[in-house]
Every structure is written in C-alpha cells, then in structure tokens.
Amino acid sequence: MAPACSPTNSLHVAVIGAGAAGLAAARELRRETHSVIIFERGTQVGGLWVYTPQTEPDPLSLDPNRTVVHSSVYDSLRTNLPRECMGYRDFPFVPRNDDASRDPRRYPSHREVLAYLQDFAREFKLEEMVRFETEVVCVEPEGQKWKIQSRSSDGIFKDEIFDSVVVCNGHYTEPRVAHVPGIDSWPGKQIHSHNYRVPDPFKDQVVVVIGNFASGSDISRDITGVAKEVHIASRSNPSETYQKLPGSNNLWLHSMIESARKDGSIVFQNGKVVQADTIVHCTGYKYHFPFLNTNGYITVDDNCVGPLYKHVFPPALAPTLSFIGLPWMTLQFFMFELQSKWVAAVLSGRVTLPSSDRMMEDVTAFYANRDANKLPKRYTHKLGECQVDYLNWIADQVGAPPVEHWRAEEVHGGYRRLATQSDTFRDKWDDDHLILEAYEDFLRQKLI
Ligand code: FAD
C-alpha cells in the first residue's frame, strides 16, 4: 500500500512523457513544491504534435517488436476545436501576431500547436526538468516507493527511486485495427491512420476508409484530392447507408464493411461492392503501458484501464501512482491541467482522497452504471456529454473555478458543426459571440 502524505509533503516525482499532459503535470507538481524529473524518449517537448514524415515499417503497426514512431499527426492536420477553448486555462492559445511564421487561424495547423506547447514550456521553464532521449522501460513498486528503470539513447540503463510516478505517455500510438471478415485473403494494401502522412501514395486509387470520426473524416477528404474514389465505412451508420458526401465528387459514405473478397472487392452492408486498392483503418488507438509492472493490479482490458478512481488514481496504489489524460474528451489540455492540479495537491497533502475501499466502491459503481447503460467496456474512458461535469468535479476538489460558459458552449457547438458540416467546420462558424466572450475573459484576467 502506498504511503499517506502528510500536509506540505514535498515529494520526488517522476513524470513519464513531455507531451501536453506531461508538461502540465510537471508545472503543477513544481508549483506545489515537488521536485520533478520528466522522462521523454523523444528529442523535444510536444509529444504527438511533433510531426515527422517518418512512419513505422509495418503499415498496420501490428508487430509488437517494431520501431515505434510516436506521432500520429498527418501533414494537413488542423485542430478539431477552436484554439481559444483548446489551450490551458491560464496560458490561452491565442494568435501570435508578433511572429509571421505563426498560424493565426481559429483552427490552426499542427505546427501552431507545437509552437504553442514550446511557448508554454519556455514561459514556465519546463525544459529544465526534462531528460530527453530517455525511455522509461520499467516502473514497479519498491517498498513504499517506485523504481524506474530508464534507457538513454546510448543504450545505458539506469535504476532510480521516486516517491511518486505520474504517467503521461499518451494514447495515440498503439493502433486498433478493425476486424474485416475475409481480410486475410484480400489482396490489397492496408494501413492504419497512425502511419498516414500525405495523400500522394493514394493517387488514382480506390480507397476504403474505415471510421468516420475526426481522423477518418479528415483523411478521407485529404485523399479525395488525388484518389479515383474514396468510400467511408462506418459501423455507427445504419446498414442501408449509402450517400455521396458534399464538398467533393468522389467521396461516398457507407455502412460498415460486410466482407473483403480474394478478387479484391469490398462488400458493404448496404449491398454495394467496390474494387478497392487500399483500406485505411481510422479506427482509433489502444491504451498501452508496456513499462508498467503492478503485479497485475492495473490491467488494460478491451481498452478499459483499471481500476482507476475518476480515471486518475488506482485505489490501492494511490496517491503515489497516477495517470493524466486517459478520458476521451474535447477539452484535452484543460483536463490535463485540472487532473495535474489534483494529483499535485493530493501528493502534497493539501487535498485528501477517500480511503482505498471508498475509491474502489466508486469504481465499481461507475462500471455498474456503464454496464446498465449498455456501454461497451471499450468506452469506459469516453466521457462524451459528461465531460464538463467531470471537469467541474475535479475543479471543485482543487478549488479551481468551473468550466467557463463560453468554453462549454464552444464544445457543444463544435460537436454540432463537426457532425453537420464536416467539410467546412474549421472555416465557417456561427459563434462569434463566444469568441468575444472568451477574449473578454482573457483580458479581464490579464492573460493576454
Ligand atoms: P502525447 O502528446 O502523445 O505525449 C506523450 C509523450 O510521452 C511523448 O512525447 C512520448 O515520446 C512520451 N513517451 C511515451 N512513452 C514513453 C516512455 N516509455 N518513456 C519516455 N517517454 C515516453 N487534442 C486537442 O486538444 N485538439 C486537437 O485538435 C487534437 N487533434 C488530434 C488529432 C489526432 C490525429 C490525434 C491522434 C489526437 C488529437 N488530439 C487533439 C488529442 C491529443 O492527443 C492531445 O491533445 C494531446 O496532445 C495528448 O497529449 P499527451 O501528453 O497525453 O500525449
């Protein structure tokens, strides 16, 4: 059992990952007077937002021994939510008019997000806590503390002891691939969106994209510019779905694939058949903690990481082990910041957690509610409509203000626009009043 923390505890804390979550965690931990080391296997801060044209040698990333490329960002990627609601709360993601190389758009490119994270790291002197090119290969309990084994780029292994570990390793690197009946004898190519960068390889091809959420919708539109035809298959569509999508003349939406045949054809549940060259799986990712050894206490089962109290603390190992950034939600950076404040305050003893038994009861009740609502286990961390309530609950724990009216409204409006105008939502909107409200808020708090 992990030790209880007495008030004003200053602990030695390891943070795994220097992406948006790890940077927020390190900042909040240091604010709370903990000493922090961030382990980062890459060469710079920014995590997912560090674009690389490099992809993995196995286009479906099925080989567990492959060389992993961390980023899943494609060249044309622009944010899928407005910048003013995407940033950290007290470091707003506003256009930098003093620098012509920056992207001032409301839904900017991935390069602008990386530049913003670099600004954040510079402003709060976070890089001085990072050990770059150092991969965490094992995390395990050692008495009341944690042993971390890391490997530096020169291949040297090192063991160190920490009071606490905060896991921020990201969860968009280990692909989930859809099962398609007959796929083993289908002769075409397959790729997961993790390994998609540019549309050029799909020139003149007939492409089937599986999945129509953010990446599926973006990538299919990216490919339509060069491909002969693009067909989106989505399991959330009714079986009769067959629709030509607006904005291009070679893009169709279907129900899910029924089967793939050895003559190269793909049969959809709507009865349509296409002769396809490539399938692009835009089917999401799996939580993956290859370094974590908790003697089987924490498991990942059908993409449910557990047991975790409020998606952050494993009851029997709390508070010295925690996870930042597991829930799927729109307000990612904002959530990282709040979860990090909570972890930092609990570690210092300023905020207390319920007993381990009470936390476990909460987890059990949460699972029972999920099952009663017939939600599949793989959606355990999908908060959807409940995201603002979740954030407000954590805000309340740490004495932070609730989610601002304009931010919550932008999330709802953003979802609506994404669903109804997926080809234009980044450049046409109807909520200028919310932008105004956001900037008034930033000005009032002297954040800009
Ligand atoms: P990451 O950014 O993935 O960072 C994890 C870090 O941990 C990496 O630097 C990695 O190198 C390091 N690491 C991993 N394992 C180890 C190890 N063993 N040892 C040492 N270091 C390790 N969110 C938005 O808010 N807006 C968007 O528009 C948006 N668009 C997205 C588009 C795509 C295609 C995807 C996949 C996600 C998008 N997201 C978006 C979500 C995005 O993932 C989060 O916003 C956020 O960047 C994730 O931050 P993170 O720190 O949790 O993970």
> pLDDT per residue over 84-98, tens digit each?
999 999 999 999 989
| pLDDT reported for residue 412 | 85
* Distance from the alpha carbon of residue 139 to the mean position of ligand 1, in angstroms: 20
Q: Indicate the SS3 state at residue 15.
A: strand
Q: Which residue has a Cα nearest atom 7 of ligand 1?
A: 17
- pLDDT bucket at 420, cuts 50 / 70 / 90: confident
> pLDDT per residue over 300-310, tens digit each?
999 999 999 99
| pLDDT reported for residue 246 | 85
CB contact at 8 A, 426 and 109: no
Judge whether residue 6 has pLDDT over 60.
Answer: no
* Ligand 1 contact, 22 CB (< 6 A): yes
| pLDDT reported for residue 166 | 98
* Ligand 1 contact, 80 CB (< 6 A): yes
What is the phi-psi region of residue 264: left when phi exceeds 0, alpha when psi lies from -120 to 50, beta otherwise?
A: left
> pLDDT per residue over 124-167, tens digit each?
999 999 999 999 999 999 999 999 999 999 999 999 999 999 99
Cβ contacts of residue 394 below 8 Å, gap of 6+? 310, 338, 339, 341, 342, 400
* Distance from the alpha carbon of residue 91 to the mean position of ligand 1, in angstroms: 19
Within 10 Å of residue 362's Cβ, how many Cβ atoms?
A: 15
* Distance from the alpha carbon of residue 23 to the mean position of ligand 1, in angstroms: 11
Instruction: Calculate mean pLDDT across residues 67-82.
Output: 96
The strand pairing partners of 274, in sequence order, are 266
Residue length, the chain?
Answer: 448
> pLDDT per residue over 382-402, tens digit each?
998 899 999 999 999 999 999
Q: Which residue has a Cα nearest atom 32 of ligand 1?
A: 73
Judge whether residue 253 has pLDDT over 80.
Answer: yes
| pLDDT reported for residue 320 | 97
Instruction: Calculate mean pLDDT across residues 250-255.
Output: 96
| pLDDT reported for residue 384 | 83
Tokens of 358: 């009470």
Which residue among 48, 51, 340 has the greatest number of ligand 1 atoms within 8 angstroms of its CB, and so is best to mutate?
Answer: 48
| pLDDT reported for residue 413 | 87
Within 10 Å of residue 446's Cβ, how many Cβ atoms?
A: 6
Instruction: Calculate mean pLDDT across residues 30-35.
Output: 97
The strand pairing partners of 40, in sequence order, are none
If you search the block for the tokens 């903690």, which residue do you land on? 289
Tokens of 276: 């396809």
Helix 387-398 to helix 405-420 angle (10° resolution) is 160
Tokens of 11: 């602990």
Tell me the pTM.
0.96
* Ligand 1 contact, 20 CB (< 6 A): yes
| pLDDT reported for residue 236 | 87
Arithmetic mean of pLDDT over the chain: 95
311 closest CA partner among 333, 336, 285, 344? 336
Handedness of CA 339, 24, 2, 159 (dihedral sign): positive
- pLDDT bucket at 5, cuts 50 / 70 / 90: very low
Instruction: Calculate mean pLDDT across residues 180-203.
Output: 97
CB contact at 8 A, 210 and 281: yes
Within 10 Å of residue 123's Cβ, how many Cβ atoms?
A: 10
Judge whether residue 38 has pLDDT over 80.
Answer: yes
Judge whether residue 370 has pLDDT over 50.
Answer: yes
Helix 387-398 to helix 332-348 angle (10° resolution) is 30
| pLDDT reported for residue 1 | 36
Q: What is the residue-wise DSSP string for 250-293? A: SEEEES-EEEE-TTSEEEETTS-EEE-SEEEE---B----TTB-
